[in-house]
A and B are shown apart, each in its own frame.
Chain A
């Protein structure tokens, strides 16, 4: 095993732990609410990611196991198998097993595990039969030493003969890994606290400076000011890491994918030193892997086809990172056959995703690739899977407050452009006033700001009033009513918000200004309430509440459109 391989394996194990954590949470909720399709979706995505990356880094056993589980989850997703308690407990056993494997592999990268029973259970569940074995789940604690023995026997000579040499090697590897670890792991919480304090320090320093009068004459005050600025820059930069390690993982993905598909592809990495917030970079790996796989699987042609098309035998995939304003841009360009808008369009009609009468531009047709459950390959592909790829990419990036765009030209290739905020800690905020109180709304949620004219508002008894916006009629909510603000005024301004194909308007008193705000978590008492995304401290030192309009209103928007449907039919 070379250093590179060890490094990506370790990286995978860390990622896998997070995925398992997510999956477990979804499992636990699923037990309470077995009919919840969103939870199945979440678990399915976790399993899918796990399968893909574990195969890529060479953990075949995990890949095999997750592949089975993924099949089972797909059947549940498509309502072919009902998620009974038995089925869920098989899936939970699977989750435990993978966790056990990941933990075992963390200690020893070449460990192997006994999972025959579980594979059988999964098969039984897949055939729609109750798995008999679930009655007696194998205890992972007891199981573990045994599997270690198995591993030693399988990979090394029996311990009483010549086993010393390989063991020694393992030990040395471990020692080396420890030596390399020269960086210090600091909890994000402490870094955030440092940032909070430094922010306050700067406010106080400014106050002291202004009370001193002419600053230029006071040498100490001047030095103090410079020092504060330096400390602030430094403390903000502590959260930033280079995208390099995330990019390097792609090399292996490209190598393995091209081998599997008998294609020739060169990967070009540009801007590896570009820095981005740690929390953003962590969520960047999966989307990148999906895009790269898709590019090689669907984009790049076979060497023969490329020669026929007058291109060089070897395809090219370029991943480039750079900063643009307050955003990190990652562009993934391939020189493959491009995305054919007509093919996507026909497919979407066949799948009933869009109506055949809808007229669309080529660009809109290409963007159908982000539609959930959309896959352009007819059969399930080993490499890019069941088409969960691109919609997962879009959701992941949007959750980070970013955007994905695609441009494609038939015959000459495609380009995906990921636009990510440099840090999750700072957002573009819109300071608004509603009923005499001010709030921050993330600017990214607001598509446009309109003045409300009385003639455009239709009151409906017992319902949310409607606002006529150009050709459209959308519900008009009142922010002060929904936040329970005491002073009632007449909403003069409407914020237009869109999510998917749904739009709605939120009436407020005024937009005060746009400004960047540092997001702080909501106080424990407020967490999860009435669409509160977080809190922030404004320039004058006063706290303010950041309102998430989507979480505040999307449920009601869906309800409104359901009523609409009923009354229409």
Chain B
């Protein structure tokens, strides 16, 4: 029925755009569509009784958001140079959440062939990741945004 072969045009649909960022020395990425914006770390107000991985509250043009430190949540030692630090504002559908990272790298165009499954050896962290993005020799872990949702829901339970 269709005028096109199945493969044609598929590569366009299959190219996903990712935002690459660093935690410690490691490279991570998230789908660009989940990112609302990227800002330099704002001044933050601590939240009482919050777990250690919560940085606090920030003011995003009149909206109050929670910012979490992904490095602490994943148990990664933060990098030394803090001038590169950034906060990624994630749009998780029902809410916005700020995430503190060591540095923001760049936008990646990744074809479906470049996305590999998470290796078994990563079993412990496998739940956080949707795959491994391969660009030539470099690898980035594709972070599952639902994990952020869970992490912030966890925050709700602690009191």
Interface string of A488-513 (1 = CB under 8 A from B): 00000000000000000000000000
Chain A, residue nearest B57 (CB) = A543
Q: Which of A253-261, A278-286, A338-346, A518-526 contacts B (4 or more CB under 8 A)?
A: A518-526
Verify B59–A537 contact, CB threshold 8 A.
Answer: yes
Residues of chain B from 83 to 119 with CB closer than 8 A to chain A in the complex: 94-95, 97
Verify A526–B47 contact, CB threshold 8 A.
Answer: yes
Verify A196–B61 contact, CB threshold 8 A.
Answer: yes
B25 contacts A by Cβ under 8 Å: no
Give the number of chain A interface residues (Cβ < 8 Å).
28
Residues of the A chain whose Cβ atoms lie less than 8 Å from the Cβ of B152: 524-525
Q: Which of B26-34, B63-71, B127-135 contacts A (4 or more CB under 8 A)?
A: B63-71
A390 → chain B, closest Cβ, in Å? 36
Residues of the B chain whose Cβ atoms lie less than 8 Å from the Cβ of A545: 45, 47-48, 57
**A510 to B56 alpha-carbon distance, docked (Å):** 22
Residues of the A chain whose Cβ atoms lie less than 8 Å from the Cβ of B63: 196, 520
Verify A543–B94 contact, CB threshold 8 A.
Answer: no
Verify B59–A541 contact, CB threshold 8 A.
Answer: yes
**A154 to B142 alpha-carbon distance, docked (Å):** 67
Verify B62–A196 contact, CB threshold 8 A.
Answer: yes
Q: A523-B65, A524-B95 are in contact. Are A529 and B156 (CB under 8 A)?
A: yes
B52 → chain A, closest Cβ, in Å? 11
Interface string of B30-66 (1 = CB under 8 A from A): 0000000000000111111100000011110111111
A527 contacts B by Cβ under 8 Å: yes
**A525 to B67 alpha-carbon distance, docked (Å):** 10
**A544 to B45 alpha-carbon distance, docked (Å):** 6
**A103 to B94 alpha-carbon distance, docked (Å):** 30
Interface string of A435-460 (1 = CB under 8 A from B): 00101000000000000000000000
A197 contacts B by Cβ under 8 Å: yes
Chain B, residue nearest A528 (CB) = B156
A483 contacts B by Cβ under 8 Å: yes
A310 contacts B by Cβ under 8 Å: no
A32 contacts B by Cβ under 8 Å: no
B139 contacts A by Cβ under 8 Å: no
Q: Is the interface of B mostly helix, strand, loop or mixed?
A: mixed
Residues of chain A from 417 to 439 with CB closer than 8 A to chain B in the complex: 437, 439
Q: A524-B94, A543-B57 are in contact. Are A483 and B66 (CB under 8 A)?
A: no
Residues of the A chain whose Cβ atoms lie less than 8 Å from the Cβ of B44: 543
B77 contacts A by Cβ under 8 Å: no
For B49, give its contact among A199, A484, A520, A536 (CB under 8 Å): A484
A414 contacts B by Cβ under 8 Å: no
Residues of the B chain whose Cβ atoms lie less than 8 Å from the Cβ of A535: 57, 64
Verify B45–A542 contact, CB threshold 8 A.
Answer: yes
B13 contacts A by Cβ under 8 Å: no
**A527 to B155 alpha-carbon distance, docked (Å):** 10
B109 → chain A, closest Cβ, in Å? 32
Verify B159–A529 contact, CB threshold 8 A.
Answer: yes
Verify A523–B66 contact, CB threshold 8 A.
Answer: yes
For A437, give its contact among B48, B59, B155, B159 (CB under 8 Å): B48
A4 contacts B by Cβ under 8 Å: no
Interface string of A170-191 (1 = CB under 8 A from B): 0000000000000000000000
Chain A, residue nearest B158 (CB) = A529
Verify B156–A527 contact, CB threshold 8 A.
Answer: yes
B121 contacts A by Cβ under 8 Å: no
B153 contacts A by Cβ under 8 Å: yes
A304 contacts B by Cβ under 8 Å: no
Residues of the A chain whose Cβ atoms lie less than 8 Å from the Cβ of B62: 195-197, 199-200, 537
Chain B, residue nearest A198 (CB) = B62
For B155, give its contact among A439, A520, A525, A543 (CB under 8 Å): A525
Q: A520-B64, A537-B59 are in contact. Are A542 and B43 (CB under 8 A)?
A: yes
Verify A526–B58 contact, CB threshold 8 A.
Answer: no
**A530 to B43 alpha-carbon distance, docked (Å):** 23
Can you list 6 residue pairs at the A/B interface with Cβ under 8 Å?
A437-B48, A483-B49, A523-B57, A523-B95, A525-B155, A543-B58
Beyond the given pairs A524-B95, A537-B64, 15 more chain A to chain B contacts, judged by CB atoms under 8 angstroms and listed by A's residue number, are: A195-B62, A196-B61, A197-B62, A437-B45, A483-B48, A483-B49, A522-B64, A523-B65, A524-B94, A529-B49, A530-B159, A536-B64, A542-B59, A543-B44, A545-B48
Q: Which chain A residues have a beta carbon within 8 Å of chain B's beta carbons? A: 195-197, 199-200, 437, 439, 483-485, 520, 522-530, 535-537, 541-545
